[in-house]
Amino acid sequence: MKFLMMIYIDEALLEALPAGEFDTRMRGCLAHADELRAQGQLHDSQQLEPVSTARSVRVRGERTRIIDGPFAETKEYLAGFNLIEAADMDEAMRMALEFPWARFGCIELRPVRDMDAVRRRVGAAT
């Protein structure tokens, strides 16, 4: 079963780290990601650029709004993601806890929907 591990970060907590601590944690994170990839449990992972580079678009009726920055005002922002393979939510949660980022924000896990099953259900081409 695939899960999307969304990593939300509180920038203030990261900025409070002692010099060099972020790099140390990031090296550990990358080493752990490499282990998961070698085991076939990590399909993809990416970091996102800062929220200051984001744009949000919303269409309601005939009105389109494009906003610079994140969609919502929040102190935690989406910093990256991992697409993982786990037997169930419990295993996915154990995997998430092995990354350091929950200490500086939140890691949200969501099961990934089987899009081939959706295509079959709605009669779309595969």
Neighbours of 108 (CB within 10 A): 15
Q: Which strand (E) or helix (H) includes residue 31?
A: helix 21-38
Residue 95: closest CA among 22, 9, 29, 48: 29
Domains of the chain, start order: 2-122 (3.30.70.1060)
How far apart (Å, rounded) are the C-alpha atoms in residues 44 and 25?
Answer: 19
Q: What is the pLDDT of residues 38-49, one digit of tens each?
A: 999 999 999 999
Q: What is the pLDDT of residues 17-63, one digit of tens each?
A: 999 999 999 999 999 999 999 999 999 999 999 888 888 888 999 99
Sign of the Cα torsion 119, 43, 47, 78 reads positive
